[in-house]
Amino acid sequence: MKLFSNAPATIELDFAPPRRRRPRLPGWLLLAIGAAALGLAAYDWQAAQAELAEREALTARLRAELRDSRPQQAARTGTPATPEEREPAQRVAGVLNADWAALFADLDRARHPELAVLDLQGDAGRGTLRMTGEAQSVEAAFAYVEKLQRTAALREARIDSHEWVTQGPQMVVRFILTAHWRTAP
């Protein structure tokens, strides 16, 4: 019998230890999958460590070889070059140091309104320039050659060949021009 009508329900306390449940098959399967994943991760880590050690050994060996070869290079470069060795090097240096900017600036100053440059082939090693162009008249082509003669970068400009070509409704002169290029002062 309750003394109070709105009193909480009685609590039953049992101090006996709870019954342990035995692991079931899904638990054992999860444990086996986790152990297999751990084994694979350990194997990958060991393989990566072995590869890293191999690469470190290779890098150390290559650095030692490089360190050993440098004194030989220093001794070899310390001797003066013979004229036979210097000539090709100077030729290559002349080609690499060619003043392309001055050439293009002179070509731009010599442009003619009735002329279009189609192809430009410069050989700094030989000091030659070959140009293909189209002009509205032969006089315009020769005026262009005269302007090129007065530039600082080119000399001996001349028209090697020309032909009349139909360009839409009009005829134009296609010409090939060659000149000597002053590549080095």
- Predicted model pTM: 0.49
CA distance 80 to 126: 27
Fold of 98-181: Gyrase A; domain 2 (3.30.1360)
Q: pLDDT band for position 183 (50/70/90)?
A: low
pLDDT bracket for residue 185 (50, 70, 90):
very low
Q: How confident is the model at residue 38 (pLDDT cuts 50, 70, 90)?
A: very high
Degrees, nearest 5: CA angle 135-178-133: 20
Give the residue extent of every domain in the chain: 24-79, 98-181
Count Cβ neighbours within 10 Å for each residue of 12-32 and write b for 16 or more, e otherwise: eeeeeeeeeeeeeeeeeeeee
- Quote the tokens at residue 92: 């290559």
**What is the pLDDT, as a whole number, of residue 2?**
59
Give the percent of the chain with pLDDT over 90: 26
Where do the DSSP E strands lie in the chain? 115-123, 128-135, 154-167, 170-181
pLDDT, position 152: 81
Helix (H, G, I), strand (E, B) or coil at 171: strand
